[in-house]
Each structure stands twice: as structure tokens, then as C-alpha cells.
Chains A and B, each alone.
Chain A
Amino acid sequence: MGIADRLIEDVGLRRGVSRLTPEKIEKIVNAVITGETGARLKAYAETCVRCGLCAEACHFSLSHPGDPSYTPAGKVHQTMSVLLNKKGKVDPDFIYGMAQLAYTECNLCRRCVHYCPIGIDTGYIISTVRRICHKLGVTPQYIQDTAHSHSATFNQMWVKDDEWTDTLMWQEDEAREEFPGLRIPIDKEGADIYYSVIAPEPKFRTQLIYQAAAIMHMAGADWTMPSEPGWDNSDMCMFTGDFEMMGRLKRKHFESAQKLKVKRIVMGECGHAFRSIYDMGNRAVGWKMPPVPVIHSIAYFWELMTEGKIKLSKKYPGPVTVHDPCNVVRGQGLHEKLRELVNFLVEGGIVETASNREHNLCCTAGGGVINCGPPFKNVRVAGSKIKADELRATGVKTIVAPCHNCHGGLEDTVHSYKLGMEIKFLGDIIYECMEKPEV
């Protein structure tokens, strides 16, 4: 029982492993462990009493009852514990399984935090395993492609600089039919708000930029979007273990905002990007907290609501259920604001899933898992069985999920488990229900 029994072919992992030798592995493993980790990993590795309480926490283990190799401690047992016990003396085949497990069977969602009496952060341990995999050059092909894109373009989706501004102008042009006078102000110095998105928005979810512009316009916000690289707040490098690039990406992002002398950054409905900006990426470049105030769309829309700047012409027909994205509930405690906002927007209120607020179950797409691509899709969907059960039990038709990755994952879950539910961003609902000008 374990990862060796369920290996999946992936070009990136296979090619990476083919270049390894036991000597190289030993050198890199120990370089990371002695050079980049310290008391935190040491204390976690030593004080974990192997009580197994975390088995109840993880959606992967709850979706595979009876298979302990999916539990948080079970995953550490197959990866970091082996590296530490053997002092890095493992063979290339072991690295293949270790990488597959770390990249595709842990979403770094941190739900296990609520189950560990000692306070062990399994997400940190698995991140460190990924860091070692990155340094070994053993990463799944699809997510590595996005990391390469970050390195080459400072955005995740190979969006070219001219295509970016073209997309903004295109969305502005489209939106002006519905909202005469709407602008997407580019590079406006001193604006109140610097609105940042993830690269999949210009690439294939352009309606989100349209909707955000419409909401900003109707709220009378003083906002801007940057023309130059730095506009993408996403960060797959954080998830591949390329922490150098994580730092470069965040520096670029913050400096882009500082250059425009904006008051704060409002970011779109993304979870992982929030983790990068607010928690991990800022630390990688030595900022204890973000050097430019950052708020997530949930908090921004909540502000607009409390200030009376969202005027609804109707309420969205509910009831709905709310999916709490890990990175903004366990990442910044936005769950109550999210609920106040949803209750404001929706007719019929919220039917909660059994696990909600900071105790949410992950969508099984986060932590870069969905970004590992088609080879691992079935693993991901199998891991979301427990989430599907909780969603089905609500009996409602709509899931509100303010995170791109959660959308991607939940779409597959809803489809595979035949839940017949629709998934909405907050922006979708606000746009649909807000007062619009008579044209």
C-alpha cells in the first residue's frame, strides 16, 4: 500500500528521474535539508507521535477509507521521513513516487492543522518535499510549463505583453456597449486600487475581467490595471518549489503596484495567488507583510456592500451553498465576510456543507494539483469524493466558490459525481444582479 502501487506516467517526472544518480540525489536532498530547513522541520519530524488523528482531516484519506497511505502522516511517512531516515540515500525510482505524491496527492490545504494536537504543518513538510523535487528537476510536465512561463514572461500562461493590453482594451470595448463611459484605466498613477488578476483570466476567462470592470465602474471606483509585467498575481512556482522565482514574481508584482503609487492592491477571486502575495511570496523577498496593502475580492466586495456601493436590481435565486477556498479562509479568515456577502446577494440564503468556514474541505484542485494536468485528473477527482458527498447532501443547485482553482476542481467533481450543480464566482452573481444603466 502506497505511492509505489499507483504510479502514473508523466513526461516531466520520467525525464527528470532519468537524469538522476544516487549521488546527485543525496547531495541535493541534504543541501536543502541542511541549507534551507531548520528547527521547524526538525521539530515536526521529531515530535510527531504518529497518533494518526490527522487521518480524519484529509479529503484524500476520507475519499479512500481504509488506505492509510493517503493520510497526512502517511504521506510524510512515504516522503520526508524516508529522506531524513536514510539521509538522502534513496534511488531515482523513489524520487518518482515521492514527487508524484507531493505534487498530486496533497493540496497543501492545511486542513490537517485542525487535527494535529502538536501543531504540525504537513503542508509545510510536503512543500519542502516539492522544493527538493524542484531542485532535482523532477516536476510534473504541465505545472512545470506554467512555472517556465512565469520565469520567461512573469505570467503563468505565456500571455504576450501586447496581448495583455489588447485583452484589456478588448474587454473595455465590449463592456462599453453595456456600460457607456466604462474604462479599464491602464497605468493610472496614484489610483486607489490596483486590480490584479491571474493569467488564466486574459487567457480563457476574459468575462471575469469584464465583470470586474463593470463592478468597479458601477461602484465608482478609482482603479487601474498595469500594462507591464507584474499584472499577474498568480504563482505556480510557489507550488513547484521554485522559491527563487516565487520571490521574483512577488517582487515584480509589488514593485509594479509601487511604481503606479497606488493605495492598495485588490486581487481577483483567486485562492493560491492570495497565499503567494499575503503569506509565502512576500516572505521569500523579506517582507513580513505585503509592502502594499492587499485585499482579496471577497473583502473588497464586502466593503462595497457595506458602503452601499453595490446596488442590486434583483437577488440571485438560491438557496446556494458556499465553498470556502482554503487559501482565503485558513489563509485570512474571510469566511464570515463571504457569508455576509452571499446572504446579501442571494434569495433563500446558504445551506452549509457539513465542513464549512475554516474547517472546509478542499476542492482537491488547489496547491498546484490541478495544474499537474490531465495525467493526474482521475486521482484528483477520486480524492474529491468526500467533497462531492458533502455538496450533494446540501440539496442545492448552486455552489458559490470565490477561487479559480476551486472552480476548475469543482467543475470536474460536479460532472464526475453527477451532482448537477452550477458553480459561480461572486463576480458572476454581482454582475448578474446589480443595477445596470439603461442603454
Chain B
Amino acid sequence: MNAAYQFVTGPLAWAAWGIFLLGSGYRLISMYQLAKTKDATSIAFMSWHFSLRSIVNWLIPFNALGWRKSPVMTVATFVFHACLFLTPIFLVAHMLLWNQAFGVSFATIPDNAADIMTLVVIAACLYFAGRRLVQPEVRYITSGKDWLALVIVLAPFLTGFLAYHQAISYNAMIILHVVAGEIMLAAIPFTRLSHMVFAAFTRAYMGSEFGGVRHARDW
């Protein structure tokens, strides 16, 4: 058990972070190169001001027309993304790992809060899954890639929750949890989760076109 734990939190963790960071960097750079050769008539219009204007306006809940027209989804997606980022970064147990490996320490969130946030992520995943099954406009466009992304995100939170509460074998669950988290990291650059890498740029481009050329809001 100890050897397995050492392996998944040691070499495998390095590999997962490596794939995530280098993979994301590679995807961004190659996408930028492609844009430079093929999308000159688009990148010529990129503007910092209008990029940020668009990003900020879309980060405000219910500010964009699309957010207002689908309020439940809006609440779900904002809460989901917030918990998805904050919980793993500021969890006490994760901070201890950072501390062990690099000697860094930073603020954490109380375990009770983290527990609720984890449940929120799980609930949001179930809601997204429900939409994919029940809502015609989502069901129609859903493919295996979308389910894969959802499962990849759900897994580390579900296993983390079960491990924390020692519901089933803790030893097995914690290893599953670490592996699930690593799969998620490594999958970001190469699955639907790549919207984490690219969304800021697609948003920025749309903001630049609408702000600089079309003088209209894009939210």
C-alpha cells in the first residue's frame, strides 16, 4: 500500500503535472502558430482592452444575455467552476502535500466547508448529466467526448469524498482519488476540458471583434 501511495503521489504526480503543464503549453503555442499562419484576418483585430472587457463581463453572473435566459444553468456552472478550482487548491490535506514536497504553505479552507464544496461539485456534475439525458437541445449534441469529460471531473471529487469519510476502504480509495485527480490534470489539454486552456482566447477574440470593429456588446 505504502509503495503504491508513494508511486501515485510521487512519479505519477510529476507525470500528471508535466502532461498538464507541458501539454497545455504545447497546445497553446501550436494553436498560436496556427493562428499566425492561417487566421491573420482575425488576430489583426485582437485588443487587450476589448478582450478583458469581454472576459470580465462574462465572469459576472447574470450579466450576459445568455446567463439571464438560463438561470439554473448559470448558478450551477458558476458554483461548479468556483468549487472545482478552490476545493483542490485550498484543501488542508492538499496543502500538506505541497508543504511536504516544496515546503510551501498557504491559506486553507476548513474541512467542513471543503466537504460541502465537494458535494456541490458532485451535485453539479449530476445536474449536468441530467441535462445531457433529459434536455432535448443538450441531449441532441452530446457525444461520448462530453460524457468522458464529465466522468473525468466527477471522479476525483467522488473518490475524495468517499476517502475523506472513510466510507469504503480508505487505503484503496485514497489511491483511486489521487489517480483520478492525476487523470483529470493530464486530460485537460487533450479533451473537452481544453476549454480551460482555450476559452479565455476564444472569448478574447470575440470581445475584440465586437469591441473594436463592431462597437457592440458581446454579452
Q: Which residues of A approach B to under 8 Å, CB–CB?
A: 1, 36-40, 42-44, 46-57, 61, 66-69, 71, 73-74, 77, 113-121, 278-279, 283, 288, 329-333, 335, 358-359
Q: Contacts of B213 on A, CB cut-off 8 Å?
A: 278-279
Interface residues of B (CB under 8 A from A): 31-32, 34-35, 37-39, 41-42, 44-45, 54, 58, 64-67, 69-70, 73, 77, 131, 135-143, 146, 149, 192, 194-195, 198-199, 201-207, 210, 213-219
State whether B54 touches A119 (Cβ < 8 A): yes
Q: Is the CB of B31 within 8 A of A42?
A: yes
A375 → chain B closest CB, angstroms: 26
A332, B216: Cβ atoms closer than 8 Å: yes
**Residue of A with least CB distance to B67:** A117
Residue in A closest to B37 when the chains form the complex, CB atoms: A38
A114 to B65, CA, bound (A): 6
Other-chain contact of B199, A38, A57, A118 (Cβ < 8 Å):
A118
A71 to B142, alpha carbons, bound, how many Å? 13
Q: Do the beta carbons of A119 and B202 come within 8 Å of each other?
A: yes
Chain B positions within 8 Å of A331 at CB level: 214, 216
Q: Once the chains bind, are A47 and B194 in contact (CB under 8 Å)?
A: yes
Cross-chain contact of A71 among B140, B192, B216 (Cβ < 8 A): B140
Inter-subunit contact B216/A39 (CB<8 Å): no
Closest 8 CB pairs of A and B: A38-B38, A115-B66, A333-B215, A119-B206, A68-B140, A39-B35, A52-B138, A55-B137
User: Nearest-CB distance from A109 to chain B (Å)?
Assistant: 12
User: Known: A113-B210, A119-B207, A333-B214. Contact between A51 and B32, CB under 8 A?
Assistant: no
A119, B31: Cβ atoms closer than 8 Å: no
Q: Hey, which chain B residues are within 8 Å of A288, CB to CB?
A: 44-45
Closest chain-B Cβ to A376's Cβ sits at a distance in Å of: 23
Q: Contacts A37-B38, A42-B31, A43-B31; is A119 near B137 (CB within 8 Å)?
A: no
Of A37, A61, A119, A359, which one neighbours B205 at CB under 8 angstroms? A119
Instruction: Report the bound CA distance from A61 to B141 in whole Å.
Output: 14
- When C-beta atoms are compared, the residue in chain A nearest to B218 turns out to be A113
Residue of B nearest to A55 (CB): B137
List B contacts of A66 (CB < 8 A).
136
Known contacts: A113-B206, A119-B206, A119-B218. The answer to whether A52 contacts B137 by CB under 8 A is yes
Q: What distance in Å separates the Cβ of A5 from its nearest Cβ neighbour in chain B? A: 13
Q: Which residues of A contact B218 (CB under 8 A)?
A: 113-114, 119
A74→B34 contact, CB < 8 A: no
Cβ of B67 to closest chain A Cβ, rounded Å: 8
Chain B residues, Cβ within 8 Å of A39: 31-32, 34-35, 38-39
Q: Which residue of B lies closest to A284 (CB)?
A: B41
State the CA gap A358–B218 with chains docked (Å): 8
Contact indicator B66/A54 (Cβ below 8 Å): yes
Chain B residues near A114 (CB, 8 Å)?
64-66, 217-219
